[in-house]
Structure 1
Amino acid sequence: MTDIALARSAVEAEIEGLTLVGVLERTVRERGAEPAYSDRRVTSEPADGTGWRTVTWAGLRDRARGLAAVYLEAGLEPGDTVTIMASNRIEHVVADLAAVLAGGIPVSVYNTLPPNQVTYLAEQLAPRIVVLETGDHVRRWRQALAERPEISRIVAIDPAIDPAIDPAIDPAIDPAFDLLRADSRVLAWSDAQLRGPAALARQDAALTARSEAVRPDDPITILYTSGTTGQPKGVVLTHRNIWFEAVTSARTAHLDGPGITVSYLPFAHIAERLLGLYIPQLQGGHVHLIDDPATLAATLVEVRPTRFFGVPRVWEKIRTGVAAALAAEPDEARRAAVRQALAVGLTYIESTQTGRATPPRLREQFEAVDGPVLRPLRAALGLDRIEWATSAAAPMPVEVARFLAGLGLRVYDVYGMTETTASATACSPDSFRLGTVGRPHDGIELRLADDGEILLRGPITTPGYHRDPAATAELIDADGWVHTGDVGEVDEDGFLRVIDRKKDIIITSSGKNIAPSNIENALKESPLIGQALVVGEGRPYLVAILTLDGEAAPVIAKRLGVQPASPASPASVAELAAHPTIQAAVAAAVEATNARLSRPEQVKAYELLAEEWTVGSEELTPTLKMKRLIVSSRYRDVIARLYGEKA
C-alpha cells in the first residue's frame, strides 16, 4: 500500500460512520456549557454585556432540534432542501443545523444573488422551506416564492416580516414585507422558536428517527459556485466529504482542540462553512459572527482570535494599513526601528521554511525585536494570539506574504475549490514555503496534466453537480481526477505554486503566455492601488485598468499634502483619482512594477478609474475576487481607448 493510501485509510478509519448529527451530539456531551456562537444583533434576546449575543453548544443543539420539529410539521421530507438567504448570525447556524437534523439538505445562498439566479436556484432545488432575513432578500425571492408551489414554509428572521405587524402603525417597516403579508406560509422566526418545544414534544420520535437515518454519503449541503458567466452550478458535498476534509486539514495545520475565530465570509462559501461551521462543530470552539466585512478590522482587535482565515484581499488591506501607519509616523527613529524589526522578522520567518534552518543568533535577534516591536504591531491588528493564520480563495501575492512574515506571522497559503471540499493542499507548521500553497493533505493525490492544469483526487471530491451530469463529466474524468481549471507548478520538494486560471492566461499576438494575476498582484503592492485588471489577449502589449484603495488612498493623500475640496470631510476616491499628485504617485507605482517585469509582461498603458469595485457593484465576488469577465465587459470602452481604438 502506498503512503497516500495508508494516510487515506487512517483518516477514513477516524471518520468511519460520522455524520453531522453524531459530531454535534459528541461536542454537546463534551462542551455543552461552553460558548459556541456569538453575534451582534438588536433583538429581544439579551446580549452578554459586551454587545454580543452568545449561545452555548447545548443551547445551539436544543434550538436546532426545536426548529427541526417545526420543519417536520411544515412537511419537510428526507432529502428536501432548506434554502437560506441570511447574513452570518446565530439564526443562520440554527436554520442550517435544523435542516440536517430533520433529514433535509441546507443550502446557504449568497445574499447578493440577482432575482433571475434566485429563480433558477429555486427551480433546481425545489426547496420545501425558505429562510429569509431582510426586505432585500424578499425582493430577490419575490418571483420564486410566487412560482414554486412546493415551498410550504417561509421562515422570516427579521421581525418586520411578521405578517402580524401593521405597516400603518410602524412606518419604518420595509415595503418589501408587504409582499408576504397575505402569504399564509410565512412564519416569523420568533414564532418558530416559540412553537419549537411543543412541536418537538409531538415530533420527538419522528425527529430522532430522521436524525439517526442520516448516512455519511448523504449530502450535507449544496453550494452554488458564484460564476461570472451562465448560471451557477450546485456542488453537492456529503458528510463523508466534509469530515475527511475537516480531519485531514486539521492534521496538516496541527489544529487540536477548540479555537477562537471570527466568521465574516458568507456561509455560501466553502471556506467559511468549513472553518465557521464544521471544524468548530468537530472540535468545539467559539465563533464570532459578523454580518459586515467592513467591521472585520475592529472585530479582530476586540476578539483577538487564535485562528484566522483571510482571503488575499483582507491580508492586502492589513499590509496596506500597517504600511500607511508606518509612513505616517513622524518620528524617524521609530520608523527606522520598526523597519529594522520587520527585516529581522522576515529573515527569521524565511529561515523556518522547509529545507532551511534557523541559526541561534537569528532566533535571539527575532526574540529581541518581537516583544517590544512586532508583538505590539500584531496586537494593534488583533492578531497577537494567532496560533494559525491562513489564506485561500486566490493566490496571495508573495510580497504580501513576505510583509506579514516581517510582522512575525506565518500565513499558511492553502489551495482547493468548492468541488474539493475546500483545501486539497496547504502549507503548515512543519511544511512551509513562501510563495507556494503547500503540499497535498494526507490521502490526497495531486498531479499536473500535460498543459500544466492541476488535477486532484481523493475522498474530498464532490459526487458531482446537482442535476447537471454534463458539467459533472467535464469536472471529473473517468479515473476520478478533478480538473481544477488552474495552472500550476510543483517544485522538487512537492510544493505547489498556482500560476493562474487556465482560461485567464493571456497569449499575446507574439505568442507569449502571460499570467495576468501575477502582474495584477505586483501592481497592488502599491498601497494606493486597490484593484487592477490586466488585459492583452491577442494584442501586441498589455494594458491595465486600475482603481484606488478607498481606505489607504486618503491616508496617503494627506501625507502627500493633498487637501480635500471640503475640509470637513476626507477627499473622495473620484476627487483623488483626478488629482495630479495622486496620478503621479500611481504612475510611479506602475513604473516601479514594470521595472521588475520582463518586457512582454510590462504594462504599456493604463487608466485610473474614478470609482472603486465592490461586491455590491458586482465587479467583485463575495470573497473579494475580481470578476474578470464582468469588469472586461463593463470597461470595454476604456480598454479600446488604451489601445487607441474606437469602442
Structure 2
Amino acid sequence: MTAAPPTGTANRSGFTADRPPHSITKTMPQYLDALAAAHPERVAMQEKRYGIWQPMSWALYRERVRDFAHGLVTLGVTRGDIVAVLGDNRPEWLIAELACQSLGASVVGIYPTSLGSELTHILHTAGARVVVAEDQEQVDKLLRLHAELGADSILEHIVFYDPHGLEQYTDEILLDFTDVEDAGRAWAAENPGWLDEQIAAGHPDDLAVICTTSGTTSKPKLAELSHANLLSMAEHLTSIDPIVAKDRYVSILPFAWIGEQMLAVACGLYCGLTISFPEDATTQKADLREIGPDVMFAPPRIWESMLSEVQVRIDEAGPIKRAIFGWGYDITDRLASKRTSGRRLSGWDRFIGSIADAVATRPVREQLGLTRIKRCYTGGAPLGPDVFQFFHAIGVNLKQIYGQTEICGIAVVHRDDGVSYTSVGEPLPGTELQFGDKQEIMLRSSSVFRGYHLNDAATAETVTPQGWLHTGDAGYLDEAGHLVVVDRLKDVVTAADGTMYSHAFIENKLKFSPYIEESVVFAGTGVTDPEAVDAEHPMCAIVTLDPATVSAWAEHQKLSFTTYTDLASKPEVYELIAEEIARANEDLTATIRIRRFVLLHKQFDPDDDEITRTRKVRRSVIAERYGSIIEALASEVDEVTISAAITYQDGSVVERSIPLRIFDLESYTVPAGRGRRKVWSGRQ
C-alpha cells in the first residue's frame, strides 16, 4: 500500500495536491482511435432494437464520434466547454461523450429521472449551453425549464437522439442527433485534419467527465475526473481482475453514475470490451440472459432483486424440486465457503459439486443470465452477507468494492481467493490506505479526482495538500487485513451502554430481508442527531415493503389486496415484517434492537427527494416530512394518522387521511417451532 514519490497536479480552478504519478499516456479518444485502427471490424457495442441486436464496429464507432465532434463545432463547442447528456443508456450517449473529449471538451451526466431544481443546478453550475437529450420526455423537461428561466436560461441547443414524438416540435433550439452528424461531415470536408490535431493535443490530465455526487444532505457537487483518473483506475483493476477484448458487458446503470463510467467507459476503452444495450427497462432481464455477460457491476438493489426473483420461483415450485435444490444448494454453499477462503477443493468436493451444480445451481444462473460470468461487483452500499453468500453458493464470483465518485468509484476490492462477506477487500494496486481522526478512511492514488467544479473550498476540505482523499467514512482492518466500512463518520453513534453503532448498519440488517425495500432507523425523537438509546427512547424504524416479494407472499397466503397502501396496512403483513425484524434483532445487542416500527403507506421516491437517484435515503427529508410518525413511534401510541396527497391518472389531486398502525415488538415472540427462513426461500 505504498506509492512512489508524489508529483503535483492541478485542476482548472487552481487546486493543487501532491498525488502518486500515473502511467497513462493517452486520452480516451486516443484509445478509441487505437482500437479502431487495430480491430476495425470487431464489435465495439450493440443495441437491441425491435428485438434484433444492432452491432457497431470500432471503425463505425470512431466514425460516428468524429462526425458528431465536427457537428458540435458547428454549435460553438470548443476546448474547455462542458456539454450535458441527459437520458438512458444508448450508443449516442457514449458517442456524445467521446466526441466532446475529442474536442478537448467534457461531459456532465444527468440522471434521466432528474427534475426542476436539480436540472437547473447541474446545468448552471456546469455552464452547459448544449444538452444531448434522449427522447421526448427529456426534451419536454428541458423546454419547460428553458421557458421558465426565460432570459436566465443558458440553453442554446438541445440535441435529441430518439425522434419519436418530436416530429411536430418546431422550437429553434432543437436539433436531431443525425442532423448534427450530417453537419459535422460537411464541416469536416472543409476542414480536413483539424480534428486529428485536437485529439493529438489531448492530455491524460485533461478533464474528461463530470459526475455528480449523491447529494444526500445537500445539492449534488460536480466532481471533475480526468482521463488519467479513469484509465489508471481501469489499469489497476484489470491488473488483478483481467478483462479481455472478447468479454461482454451489459450496460444497465446510468452513465451519469460513476459505476458505469468506471466499467463501461474506462475499462471498456482500456480493454476493448464489447458493450451491449438492452432494448428498454422491461427487457433488461431477458436481454441479460441472451447476452450472458462476462463482467458485471450492479448496486445491492439489483442483486437483492435477483435473489427475490429466485425466491419467488423456488417457492412456486413443487416439493420435489424444492428438496433437490435445497440438497444441491447446501453442497455448493459449503464448497463456496472453502473456495472464497483460499482452501483447495478435494477430488470428492469437485465431483459432488459438479452434480449439485448441474441439478440445482446452474439452472438458477441460466435464468439470471449469469452463466458466463467470470467476476462481478457490487458497491455503493453494503450488501447483506446472506445475499453475498447466496450468489457464491450458486457459482457467481461476486465481489464487494469500495470507493467514491471522488476516486473513480473503486479503490478497494476483494481478490478471487479472499472474498469475505463482511468486508470490502483490499486496496487496488497503486492505492494507499490510512486512517485519520475517529478512524476515518483516507485514500490516495492516481485516481483521486481533480476537484469539485468551481468549488475550491469543498475540494480543499475533501483532499489534503498531500493528495489524501477524506472519504468521510469510518472503518478498520479486520484480522485478514481487509477493510471493514462501518458507516459515514457523522452517523456513528454511541448507545447508553457504550456500544458503537450506526443507523445504516441497523437499516441494512433490516433490508437483508427480501420483504423490506427500505428502512430508516432512529433513536428517541431525532433522526439526524439521535440521542443515546434507552428505555424512554427506544430504537424505532420506518419501513417500506418490497412490492414484488410481499405481493408474491400475499398471493401464496391467499391474501387479497388492491394497492400498495392496502397491502402495507394488512395485519398479516405486519406480522410478516415483525418476524423479519425480530430475526434481525437477534444479531444486535439489546440496546440497539428495534422495538417499534411502522409500515409506510408508500415507497420512498427520488422525485419526492426522499432518496437520491442512486437510492440513498435523505434522512433530513424523512425527518421533516414524516415528523409526526417519528414522534408517534417515540411515544406510547399505537396508531398515527397522516395526510397524504393522492394524484390520479386524470391529474386530479385529493388529500386523504391515512391511519398507520405502530407495531410494538416488546411483547412479540416468533411463533413456536418456526426456524430461520432459508436464504433462497421466501417462505417462513
Please indicate, yes or no, whether the TM-score normalized by the shorter chain is above 0.5.
yes
Task: Kindly report which structure 2 residues correspond to 1:250-269, keeping only aligned pairs within 5 A, or say none.
Answer: 250-269=238-257
Partner of residue 207, structure 2: 219
Structure 1 counterpart of 2:42: 34
Shift in alpha-carbon separation, 1:334–1:62, aligned structure 2, 3 A:
same
- 2:80 is aligned with 1:79: yes
Write the mapping of 1:237-316 to structure 2, written as runs, cut at 5 A.
237-290=225-278, 293=281, 295-316=283-304
Distance in 2 separating the partners of 1:78 and 1:480: 27
Q: 1:365 to 1:464 in 2, by over 3 A?
A: same
Aligned to 1:156: 160
Residues 75, 152 of structure 1: 8 Å contact kept: no
1:84 is paired with a residue whose SS is: strand
Which sections of structure 2, spanning at least 5 residues, go unmatched?
Answer: 8-19, 524-529, 643-684
Q: Tell me the residue number matched to 2:4.
A: 5
Task: Kindly state the Cα deviation for residue 465 of structure 1 after the two structures are TM-superposed.
Answer: 0.7
Distance 2:256 2:600 in 1: 31
Q: Is the 8 A contact 1:107 1:221 kept in 2?
A: yes
CA distance, structure 2, for counterparts of residue 640 and residue 519 of structure 1:
20
Aligned to 1:531: 518
CA distance in 1, matches of 2:141, 2:543: 31
Deviation at 1:468? 0.4
Please state how far the C-alpha of 1:95 moved relative to its aligned partner: 1.1
User: TM-score with structure 1 length normalisation?
Assistant: 0.89
Larger RCO: Structure 1 or Structure 2 (Cα < 8 Å, ≥ 6 residues apart)?
Answer: 2
Residues 245, 274 of structure 2: 8 Å contact kept: no
Q: Is the CA contact 1:341–1:406 (under 8 Å) kept in the aligned structure 2?
A: no
Match of 1:551 among 531, 548, 551: 548
Cα offset, 1:3, TM superposition: 5.7
> How far does residue 147 in structure 1 lie from its aligned partner after superposition?
4.2
Letter in 1 for 2:539: L
1:611 counterpart (602, 616, 636)? 602
Q: Distance in 2 between matches of 1:615 and 1:51?
A: 33
1:103 — aligned with what?
104
Q: 2:612 aligns with which of 621, 628, 637?
A: 621
Identical aligned pairs, as a percentage? Answer: 29
1:363 & 1:631 partners in 2: Cα distance? Answer: 50
- Preserved CA contact (<8 Å) 1:123 1:148: no
One-letter identity of the residue aligned with 2:540: V
User: 3-state SS of the aligned residue for 2:595?
Assistant: strand
Q: Can you list the C-alpha shifts for 1:143-202, whole angstroms capped at 9, x where unaligned? A: 45744676543212232575xx43xxxxxxxxxx5xxx343x332223123323212212
Alignment partner of 1:337 is 2:324: yes
Deviation per CA, 1:349-401, whole angstroms, max 9, x where unpaired?
A: 11123454434433333222112221111101111111111101112111110
Structure 1 residue aligned with 2:658: none
Matched, 1:386 2:373: yes
Distance 1:349 1:614 in 2: 37
How many Å apart are 1:6 and its aligned residue?
Answer: 10
The AA in structure 1 aligned to 2:135 is: T
Query: Retained in 1: the 8 A contact 2:115–2:607?
Result: no
**Number of paired residues?**
614
- In structure 2, what residue type is equivalent to 1:236? E
**SS at structure 1 position matched to 2:4:** helix
Task: Measure the CA separation in 2 of the matches of 1:147 and 1:490.
Answer: 54
SS of the residue corresponding to residue 77 of structure 2 reads coil
Q: Which of residues 453, 472, 475 is equivalent to 2:440?
A: 453
Seen in structure 2, the aligned counterparts of structure 1 residues 613 and 375 have a Cα distance that, compared at 3 Å, is same
> Does the Cα contact within 8 Å between 1:349 and 1:410 map onto a contact in 2?
no
The Cα of 1:300 is off from its aligned counterpart by: 1.8
| Partner SS for 1:154 | strand
CA distance in 2, matches of 1:488, 1:454: 6
Q: Check the 8 A contact 1:88/1:291 in 2, yes or no.
A: no
Q: Give the Cα separation in 1 of the matches to 2:239 and 2:620.
A: 37
Aligned position for 1:563: 560
Given the superposition, is the C-alpha separation of residues 384 and 6 from structure 1 closer, same or farther in structure 2, using an over 3 Å criterion?
farther
Aligned residue number for residue 519 of structure 1: 506
- Spell out the pairing of 1:443-522 with structure 2 (5 A cutoff): 443-508=430-495, 512-522=499-509
Q: In the alignment, residue 156 of structure 1 is paired with which amino acid? A: F
Residue 518 of structure 1, CA deviation: 2.5
Runs of 4 or more above 6 Å deviation: none
Between the aligned partners of 2:308 and 2:444, the Cα distance in structure 1 is: 37
Q: Deviations over 1:54-100 (max 9, x none)?
A: 32221111011001001112221211111111211111111111111
- Residue 119 of structure 2 aligns with an amino acid whose one-letter code is V
How many Å separate the matches in 1 of 2:112 and 2:39? 32
Q: Structure 2 CA distance, aligned partners of 1:229 and 1:82?
A: 26
Residues 1:114 and 2:115 aligned together: yes
Answer whether contact 1:440 1:446 (CA < 8 A) is retained.
Answer: yes
Contact 1:87–1:133 (8 Å) recurs in 2:
yes
How many angstroms apart in 2 are the aligned matches of 1:489 and 1:631? 30
Q: Are residues 182 and 610 of structure 1, via their aligned partners in 2, closer, same or farther at CA, if it must alter by over 3 Å?
A: closer
Structure 2 Cα separation of the partners of residues 358 and 495 of structure 1: 23
* 1:38 and 1:288 in contact (8 A); partners too: yes
Query: Which shifted more, 111-120 or 144-153?
Result: 144-153
Q: Aligned Cα RMSD in Å?
A: 2.6
Residue 622 of structure 1: how far off its partner (Å): 2.8
TM-score for both structures, normalised by structure 2: 0.84
TM superposition shift of 1:257: 3.1
Q: Is 1:125 the counterpart of 2:126 in the alignment?
A: yes
CA contact (8 A) 1:389 1:411 kept: yes
Task: Pick which of 494-503 and 615-624 moved more.
Answer: 615-624
- For 2:497 and 2:360, locate their aligned partners in 1 and report how far apart those are by CA, in whole Å: 50
Q: 2 CA distance for matches of 1:438 and 1:384?
A: 24
Unaligned runs of 5+ in 1: 42-46, 167-176, 565-570
Partner of 1:54: 55
Q: 1:542 aligns with which of 539, 549, 558?
A: 539
Match for residue 24 of structure 1 among 32, 51, 58: 32
Q: Corresponding residue for 1:174?
A: none
Contact kept? 1:264, 1:291, Cα under 8 Å: no
Which residue number in structure 2 is paired with residue 170 of structure 1?
Answer: none
TM-superposed CA distance for 1:544, in Å, is 0.6
The one-letter code of the counterpart of 2:387 is: V
Question: Paired residue for 1:588?
Answer: 579
Cα shift at 1:504? 2.5
2:385 pairs, out of 386, 395, 398, with: 398
- Greater Cα offset, 439-448 or 360-369: 360-369
Distance 1:499 1:291 in 2: 38
C-alpha separation in 2, matches of 1:461 and 1:493 = 26
